[in-house]
Amino acid sequence: MSDLTEQRRTSFDAAACAYDNARPGYPEQMVDAILAYAQLPAQPRALEIGSGTGQATAQFAWRGIAVDAIEPGAAMAALTREKFDGSGLEVTVQVADFEEAEIESGAYDLVLASTSWHWLTPGARWQRVHEALRPGGTIAAFWTLPHWRRTPLRPALDAVYERSGADLTTLGPMADVEVQHDLLARQWLLDAPRRGAFSDLRSAIYQWSEIYDGAGYAELLSTYGDHLALEPGVRESLLDGVRGVVEEHGGQIELHYSTHLLLARASATVGECAATGSRATPA
């Protein structure tokens, strides 16, 4: 992992409160699809990788699932603990990187990677997930990705980015590139260390949107790694300009999202050959 990538991976903890306020949860339709695929037992246990401030954690815990969360950010983990303290829900939070976390072998019916899979070590992530799951258990990886450019305010917002000096031409709102779901699904298992460790690949995509006022949209932007990495003066100027654009254009902006879901089932036994890829089909 490059130094810049590591900086962005760990920067979210500094914005834990803004992250908790601004980041949306996941479509309930997606949660339904995961549970329908997983066919969980009467008292299910889930391991969540990279729980952030507990958005996905809550959605699964309220469905009666005991969730053991792993979160590398101490501030984010503290917010999650506070959120569930006294709730009666079975949620624990361990502050650790997934690769070094203490995980009970073969204890979980479900592993959740909520917008975190891309931060994990290739190869090792699959091995650890397989060790954590019971035979037949489910790995569900999902990402919510904003479509920054799908707004009529984009030209005015682009002008703010250019004036601020924010060099984000290859990332985030300035980048005219969107994730291709089919390609994401096809590539998902390519770094799995052993053939046959996982089977029954499924995929789905969910389209939805949220309405933000100027302050809310600027706060949301402030939780993304590319914006967190900006010089403070540049970031402040940028976010002030963004708030102004939204306020000048009716006070609201609609942000479109895609949530990408990938599912696979842990096999009881695995072969010795390296994985060469698998085909994912819609859930």
Average pLDDT of the residues in 34-62: 96
Q: With 80 as the cut, is the pLDDT of residue 135 above it?
A: yes
Mean pLDDT of 95-104: 96
3-147+179-209+256-282 has which fold?
A: Rossmann fold (3.40.50)
Mean pLDDT, rounded, for 114-138: 94
Q: Which of 91, 110, 101 is nearest to 128 (CA)?
A: 101
pLDDT of residue 193: 73
pLDDT score recorded for residue 278: 38
Across 7-13, average pLDDT: 58
Token pair, residue 199, equals 């089977």
pLDDT at residue 173 above 90?
Answer: no
Q: For residue 217, give the nearest of 261, 190, 247 by alpha carbon.
A: 247
Question: Would the pLDDT of 272 be above 90?
Answer: no
pLDDT band of 152, cuts 50, 70, 90: very high
Question: Do 8 and 15 meet the contact criterion of CB atoms below 8 Å apart?
Answer: no
Domain residues of the chain, as ranges? 3-147+179-209+256-282, 149-177+214-251
Chain mean pLDDT for the chain: 88
Q: State the virtual CA torsion across 86, 89, 92, 97 in degrees, nearest 10.
A: -120
Task: Indicate the pTM of the whole model.
Answer: 0.87
Q: What is the mean pLDDT of residues 219-227?
A: 91
Could you count the other beta carbons within 10 Å of the beta carbon of residue 277? Answer: 12
Model pLDDT, residue 226: 87
**Distance between CA atoms of residues 116 and 118, nearest Å:** 6
